[in-house]
Structure formats: structure tokens, C-alpha cells
Amino acid sequence: MFKILDRYIIKTFFGPFFFIFSVLFFIFIVNIIWVQLGQFMGKGLSYWQILKLLFYLGVSVISMVMPLTILLASIMSFGEFGERYELAAMKAAGISLTRVMMPLLGVSVGLAVLLFLFSNNIIPDFQRKAKNMLFNIAQTKPALNFTPGQFIDQIPGYMVKFDIMNDTGDDIEGVFVHRKASTFENQQTIVAQKGKFVPAANSNYLKLVLYNGYVFEDNFAGKSDNVRMKQPDQAIKFDTLVSHFDISQIINKAIEKEQITDDYRFQTYGQLDETIQKAKKENDKFFTTLNNDVISQTNTVVAYMDKNKAKAPVKSQIKLDTLKTDKKLEVLYSAYSRLDNLKSTLEGKSNDIRPNVKYFSKVIIYQQRIISYSVTCIIFFLIGASLGSIIRKGGMGVPVIIAIVIFIIFYVMNLGIENIAWSGKMNPYLAAWLPNLILLPFGVWMTYKALTDSQLFDAEKYKALFKPITQRFSRNKEHKRYQ
């Protein structure tokens, strides 16, 4: 009986789970498109490249989508059980709410483990691909780097040189274009006084308009050696010549090229441990050097201000009150200047410390969230299942609103605590786990309320509680003649 019941509960859970996961994933992808839209426009990307980039970016948001999906699915599932009186029937049959929750708790733990494996092994690889692809797209215009006065062979099948190029790279002078050819192909060389690049109809091609030049061509293809030796050169003069160069291979290669490899987001949990240890050693070395510099400068200032004490007994020290006004001002100004310089040095050193602290906190928080987000899935299940059994309403109404409010609170806590940790005012390990530590007691309390059949969301209960207060401010509706 229980096996059939378990299958029914899990089946009921996965129905809304897959639907909600798809909707949330689509919403996050749309948000990514909105944020990154500027880097897509005008870059000549194919639909396949855009879809590939969105897939790379979308994989990284699963760590946030999964906990919210579990929260929503659990609220809706248990809300439907309560709305259809199935929970009441289970309890009447002697099946406790704990027993009903156990199958889905096991599913949530399994999903949490899968999320950890996914975040640790798959997301870093896709983060690397997405970051490199975004960087390359931003740099692609049109994926060629021409240097005036030098021969370049970036265009497949051609050797090109420009004597002069303006700042925008559009207008050129002294153009030399030579087509690479084998022994059995026609040789062609184009020489022109001026030229300019113009946008091509197909973004995979580079359009070059040349003015006042010659096309030199040797018609060697298919000719014997004797004929080839006698073949005269052909020169064609032109006023305007339009040439198209296929650069699709360059663009695709540039977009897929991985130029960024050193980033903590590309690492697994174990690799992040090594990065943290390395950062600790570098920070210790940095702080030791910084400490020595500050102490050395402080000692210099103190020694200057107290130099008479080391050279002569206390009797020979000059009292400030005995000095003349000009000398007294000179001594005070000198002391103030040295202290002000020391203060400026300390502020400068403090600014040098902030980037190290922020980077160190980022690495630790990113590492710990590989685990903490998996734990969040379990906590969200406890909260969602308890709320669903108490509210006893399924569908996309009240449960969705409550789930979104809970997730917004969790997300805001994440961002706020993260910023505090970046500034060095909180331990980064605590910052990564604090939202879970705050929500865990709430989840346990909600589970307790659900197990004890609490009327937590019963409006009549709260009306009765506040009735003595509301009666004082309400008018007596009885007519005066009947008083």
C-alpha cells in the first residue's frame, strides 16, 4: 500500500516540478538576454551561436532555479493534497504527515546531491565557455587586426598590406592584396591607391572597395610548363573595384577561442580549496609587507618627534612653551605634516587591502555556495511542504505568491550579506551559510506547525485574537431608540 502511495506522491510532485522548472528557466534566460542584448547586436552572430551562448549562460542559473522550483512544487503538491482532502484521508487511514513527506524528502535530498554534482563538475566548464564566448563577441569587429605597413595573412587565402589606415580602420591607402595560389592556380595581385571597408550584406564576408588601381593576373591554370613560361602577365586598370573576402572561419574561430582561463568560477570545489590556500599565502605575505612599511614609517615619525629624548637627558629637552612664536609654529606645522602624511599612507594602504579582501571573500562564498545551495533545496522543501499542508490550496494562486516572497527574502539576504562579506566586515564562510541558518529554524518551525495541524493561516483565528482591540474603535451599530 505504502509503495503505491509513495509512487502517487512522487508522481504528483514531479508534475508541477517540471512545469515550474521550465517556466523559471525560461524567465532567467529572458533576463540574461535582456542584460546581454547589447553584446549580441551588430556582431553578425548566427542563430546557432546565439542559442549556444544562451545555453552556456542558462546552465549556470540552474543552481538558483532548482531551490525555487522545489519550494514551489512542494507547496503546490501538498496544497493539492489538502484541497482535495487527500491529506485528511491519509490521516484518517493512520498515515501521519511525516510519513507522507518522507518520499518527497528523499527526492529533495537526491535533487540536492545532483545539484551539488552539477554545480561542482558541469557548471564551471560552461561558465568558462560562456565567459570566453561573451568576451570574444565583444572583441569581434570584424575579428581582424590590421597593422599599417605590415603584411598580414589573417584573411584565408590572401596576403594583405596597407600603408596607411585611419583611426576608425575604415579608410586605407597604399593597398596591396595578393591571392595565395598553388602552382596550378592563377596568380592574382591587386594594387590600389585608396580603399575603404564597408558593411557587407552578409556579415560573414568582409567587403573592400578599392579605387584607382591595377589587377595583375597570371593565367597559369591548366597550362603546361612551356606555355606557362610564355604566358604574358595581364594587367587590368580599374577606377573602382569591389572585393568580398570570406571571414566566416575567422569569426567562428574567434568566438569559440578560449582566451580567459584563470577565473575561480571555472574551478571545482577541490580546485577552489587550492585557490583559497594560495590566496591566503599571498595575503599573509602582502599584509606582512604592509605591516612592516606602516610600522617603519610610524617609527620614523615618532623618532623625529621625540629625537631629543634619545640624545639628551630629560633636563635638556626643549619645552614648547619656551619657544618663540615663529619657532613654535614651525615645530607644530612639521609635526602636523608628518602625521598627515602617515594618515594618507594608512588610507592608501587601506585601499590596497580592499581588492584582496573582496577577491578572497568572493572565492570562499562561491565555493561554499556549491554546497549551501544544495542544502537550500532541502530547507525549501521543508518550508514548502509545511506551507502547502497548512494552506491546503493548490494551483498557481496563493502558493506561488508565498513562494516568491520567501525566495525574494532569501535572495535579498544573499546579496546583502554577500556585500558585507566583500567589504571585510563578515567572515565569508558565515556569509555563505547565514541565509540557510536563518531559514532553517523557520523551516523546522513550519514543519512542527504542520505536524500539529496548526491553523496558522486561519483568518478567523486572527480576527478573534484582535477582536477586543477592534471593538474599541468600531461604532455601536444598535439604534439609539432601542438603547
Residue 421's nearest CA partner among 356, 333, 349, 357 is 357
- Say how many residues make up the chain: 483
Alpha carbon distance 342, 350 (integer Å) = 12
Per-residue pLDDT tens digits of the chain, which is 483 residues long: 457 888 888 888 888 899 889 888 888 888 777 776 655 655 556 677 778 878 887 888 888 889 989 998 888 888 888 788 888 888 888 888 888 888 889 999 999 999 999 989 888 888 888 777 776 665 554 445 566 777 777 677 778 888 887 766 568 888 888 887 766 677 788 888 888 877 777 766 778 888 988 888 776 665 666 665 666 667 888 888 888 877 666 555 555 555 556 677 788 888 888 888 888 887 777 777 766 666 666 655 555 545 544 444 444 455 666 666 677 677 777 777 777 777 776 676 666 677 778 888 888 998 898 999 999 999 999 988 888 888 777 666 677 788 888 888 888 998 899 888 888 888 889 989 999 999 999 888 888 888 877 666 555 555 666 667 766 666 655 555 544
Exposure string over 195-207, b if 16+ CB within 10 A, otherwise e: bbbeebeebbbbe
Residue 148 CA, distance from chain mean position: 38
Q: Which residue has the cell 474599541?
A: 472
Return the pLDDT at 387. 85
Looking only at the bridges linking them, the beta strands covering 171-179 and 187-198 are antiparallel
Return the pLDDT at 142. 45
Alpha carbon distance 324, 308 (integer Å) = 18
* 245-248 long-range contacts, CB within 8 A, separation 24+: 245/155, 245/158, 245/205, 245/206, 245/208, 246/156, 246/204, 246/205, 247/142, 247/143, 247/144, 247/155, 247/156, 247/204, 247/205, 247/206, 248/204, 248/205
Alpha carbon distance 149, 404 (integer Å) = 61
Residue 124: other Cβ atoms inside 10 A: 22
Alpha carbon distance 122, 116 (integer Å) = 10
Q: Dihedral (C-alpha) 101, 106, 107, 110: value to the nearest 10 degrees?
A: 160
Alpha carbon distance 467, 394 (integer Å) = 30
Alpha carbon distance 395, 64 (integer Å) = 22
